[in-house]
A and B are shown apart, each in its own frame.
Chain A
Amino acid sequence: MEKEVMSSLKMAGNILCSASSFIRKCIFGDLRVGPIPNHIAFIMDGNRRYAKKQKLSHDGAAGGGGRYDAGFWALMVMLLYCQELGVKYITAYAFSIDNFKRKPEEVESLMASMLEKFHLLDILVKRLAVRVHFVGNLELLSNELRASAMELMEATAAYSKSVLTICIAYTSRDEILHAVRESCEQKRIDLEFDNDDDNEIKLMKVEKNMYMAVAPDPDIIIRTGGENRLSNFLLWQSCWSHLHSMWVLWPEIGVWNLVFAILNFQRNKTYHLEMRKKEKEL
């Protein structure tokens, strides 16, 4: 009797999954009628509030997993949906340089959680043929974390179906400063060896030295957690991005949040593209 109940429940679950998968495919098909963003960036805010809600501890000792596990799975799910939709570049703001100012035990817990997830990430990205970049001031990370990051970048260098960029030990101002230093150093060398007698540094040169030169500018920047600010994320690259803030906490983000963000982008992009086209025509 119990076996029959379990079997029925399993069948019902499979039917629901298939049904929801079918509905999702239909919605995605409709979305593809309009312009699909080439690059979506996520500010993954709300993990701590979610953990407080779920009463999760730093290390998962109270059961229910560590407090950042749900955030990791949310990123993987978004990666899957974006790949299905045809969004080639996904960028996630995993850890800001400013986050080092948090309580030491919190920073340690986050670093440990990230290190722990590398193995899982390795399996998933290879399965999905996703190239991974880690961008930021990687010198600020522990040797172990930095080595794991470099290893994963090398292992996935040949993949090209999607590109996942994880911003870690990153702030946009640090990135801009790095690019400015590199540009000034290159200009000084060029002038010393008479390779270049033009004192000007062009925009392209500064852009080439950005950490985020591995991806085009984001079409949409999605921020969860309800705040409406960039928090030192992709300041240079966000100049024409559609900014979308949502109240949902990052671990709770779902397919409908993504669909809504893209619909908003499509609504605004048409007008914006029109304006940009008119400006260029003239």
Chain B
Amino acid sequence: QIQVGALVFDIGSYSVRAGYAGEDCPKADFPTVIGVTLDREDGSTPMETDGDKGKQSSTTYYIDTNQLRVPRESMEVMSPLKNGMKITDAELFPWNTRAKREKLTELMFEHYNIPAFFLCKSAVLSAFANGRSTGLVLDSGATHTTAIPVHDGYVLQQGIVKSPLAGDFMSMQCRELFQELSVEIIPPYMIASKDAVREGSPASWKKKEKLPQVTRSWHNYMCNCVIQDFQASVLQVSDSPYDEQVAAQMPTVHYELPNGYNCDFGAERLKIPEGLFDPSNAKGLSGNTMLGVGHVVTTSVGMCDIDIRPGLYGSVVVTGGNTLIQGFTDRLNRELSQKTPPSMRLKLIANNTTVERRFSAWIGGSILASLGTFQQMWISKQEYEEGGKQCVDRKCP
């Protein structure tokens, strides 16, 4: 018996998930980027999207894949995250400051006139989606890999450990790989036709005519899409620390870029994601101060009270799109069992379906919003009017 119709939004740095509470997967899932065009050939993009700041520009916004991937003249691509929300949301990252949460509450009630609102941390929701109220949530997404201890439905903020080694880091490494191989990344929008070439030989393709003058940011975005596709299909994490000889014996995977260049990838498949677990040898990292994924988890648990540590290790929830790389969870399991004392019961919870792992925070929100006992937790418009925007801090722990 669904109590109240609620909308659930989960905004990530890579994609936004939105839908109705009570369903098992979000209805809308689109990239967290906005295409902005200005009528004027100013080139300067508006940094604040709330209100026009006196610029007489009719800014048009394009969201969602269908609109976004069409090349338009001077359409800049930017992420709306820092620039204020255009999209309503009911969930946020835990390290958003209090000020941001309050501002968001204000925006929701004042601007959009919603009757009720609730903010919940995505780590708590991921845990709920996996049937647990206590556990260590390891979320490896596009921009960050974080370990967040959740105890009894509350995030322990002192124990959050963040590392920038995540999906985007992988993409950067892939990009460098292609540079080393002297292969140019050509996004599909530029290609009119291509010929089949032999493996490893340079691509042979024809450029489309009458392409509009696209901006640098948009072109980069499209190239990133190509690299992300490569990243998702080819990369694999080895189940023991990277070894040259073992990697050389790995079966190769054949991959073809949009422009026709195709090649077999063997050792590189393992070498690139190794940086996630053992950043000491990864390229492009300044100093060796980065933590590998295993260390991130153990550090986070180590910062918590010793009495709850077995509870945290007994439910390590693995979420986030970046964890879908083949072999990620096995390697993580191995690393954790090495780093914990042998008497510690370790259990990793990782859903096998793509949908569940990428959307676990959204699914948790859907579950939570459809609970009968949740109805008392909403911040209603009346409460907001009485208490001001600070009530979000009290009511949404």
Partners in one complex: no
- Name A's B-contacting residues (CB within 8 A): none
